[in-house]
Amino acid sequence: MVYIPPSHTDRAAEVGLKRRQPDLSRHLSAEARARLPNPIKSIWKAAQVKPGTINMGNGDPHHTLYPVSEMNFIVPSIDEHDPVQAWREGTGEQQIIASYKDEPCALSLRTAMAYGAGSGLQHVREALANLNDRIHAPPKHTVSLSLGNADALTKCFRLLGDPGDSFLCEEFTFSAMTNAALPLGIDWVPIRMDKDGLVPSDMERILSNWNEAVQGKRPHVLYTIPCSQNPTGSTLSLERRRQIYQIARDWDVIILEDDPYFFLQYDLDVRPSTIEQYGFTRAMAEVLPRSFLSMDYDGRVMRLDSFSKILAPGMRLGWVTSNDFLAEKLDMLTDSSSQHPHGLGQAFIAELLGNQGWGVDGFMKWVNSLCREYERRRNLFMEVFRREVSSTGLASAEVPQSGMFVWIKVNLDRHTRYRVMETSTVPGGPISNTAELMDELFRKLLDCGLVMMPASTFAIVDRTGRATNDSHIADRVNYFRATFVGTDETIENGLTIFGRGLEEFFCY
């Protein structure tokens, strides 16, 4: 395990926290409780403790037979004032970072290309633990590597969920992930949202009104995307995060903090004086949102981070931060399933964050530069949206604070064929034709050569389809998710088509 030391607590406070840390074993699934450590991996870990141990137990091909001795990675030079712009324009300097099998480097290819533990290689985990501590300064937590957030989430679902369990999530969320829990027999309980994200009072209402005799076991897991919530683009305020965490404590709920867009924040007031005196890492840490992990004194947060949005999605490499008890159970699952993450990605990250690469501060300088570029594209999107779409009065959108998405509301109530009934034709069903009209609009836009993701793709329904006693979610799917991370040409052309398509749709 890689221990992240507490940065904001003294020794006495840490001891007090340990005393009141809850027993989290009840949250484990039957599978997790029954799972035994991989005995071969247990011996492998024991063999790493004493240097020079002769290992004749594992079936590892010897490193002298690896058909690779060196890997060079050409990356942007972080010495540029604005490295992202310089890289895009091809005007900046390049930097070569290298991994070697037989020469000194941050992570030897002898180690990176060999079998390893499911949690990932120690050197990489320590580098990410250091990054975590400088950004989040959490209480005692450990880091395990993953093959990206999708891999991590599906494992967390297996770790925590049994057939018949109910988990909480936002009423609109990334359905590719929630769908992964359904074959495990896990039901989703949607929490209402507004323009600012998950509504804490609705989470409290659901938990306090839960009838276990009728509904089964009360939900004990919350899956949430707090920054640039996918698909709505909303970012939870600090006050809402505090409220949600307190509710989780009151009802003993585990929080799965899926945060791939955390580093992509806009309109940040990064202080040049802090950069000059302390570097980019501290300057960014001062203005980035406070995570659930940073306030997790109970060990009930499992935080999922990924390099997909800030380096490249094809890397399939991320990290999970949790308390040592849950980390051990997660590593046991990995050791007997997907095994450790790929060595090439770990070697790259080790060199990138190492002394001969960008280092942590250079990495955060890249992130800062990336934020400015995506902020520029967001601003362009909203400018074109106001000109081509808002001016029609047929749709509107909030300006996202972070991430990659804009949640566009279509004003269907202005359509001549929009209908609202007094009662539903199906008991408990929708009372409007919102879903039908949005499906028609989606196909209309597709014929025009434009794809936007309809809200119905992300709508989460419980057993009744209701999110509250008087509102069916199908009556609230009058939204599209659009991304602003494409080229300027894509933004201009796409929104022009969208505005024209809307006007044509509303004419018949």
Q: What is the pLDDT of residues 42-99, one digit of tens each?
A: 555 555 656 666 665 566 676 776 788 899 999 999 999 999 999 999 998 999 999 9
Residue 137 CA to residue 8 CA, distance in Å, equals 7
- Tell me which H or E stretch contains 387: helix 359-388
What whole-number distance in Å separates Cα of residue 23 and Cα of residue 30? 16
Q: Which tens digits make up the pLDDT trace of 104-134?
A: 998 888 888 777 676 778 889 999 999 999 9
Tokens of 40: 């071969």
Dump pLDDT digits (tens) for 199-243.
999 999 999 999 999 999 999 999 999 999 999 999 999 999 999
Q: Report whether CATH 1.10.10.10 matches the domain 372-505.
A: no
Are 220 and 253 contacting, i.e. CB atoms less than 8 angstroms apart?
A: yes
User: Which CATH number among 1.10.730.10, 3.40.640.10, 3.40.50.10420, 3.30.450.20 corresponds to the domain 9-48+122-339?
Assistant: 3.40.640.10
What distance in Å separates the CA atoms of residue 348 and residue 391, rounded to the nearest whole number? 47
Q: What is the CA radius of gyration of the chain?
A: 24
DSSP string, 255-318: EEEE-TTTT-B-S----HHHHHHH-HHHHHHHHSPPPTGGG-SSS-EEEEEESTTTT-GGG--E
d(C-alpha 153, C-alpha 159), whole Å: 10
Distance (Å) of CA 277 to CA 49, 274, 360, 379: 40, 5, 16, 30
- The answer to whether 403 touches 371, Cβ cutoff 8 Å, is no
Q: How confident is the model at residue 437 (pLDDT cuts 50, 70, 90)?
A: very high
Quick check: 464 pLDDT over 60? no
Q: Where in the chain is the domain with CATH 3.90.1150.10?
A: 372-505
Taking the C-alpha atoms of residue 452 and residue 479, their distance in angstroms, rounded to an integer, is 10
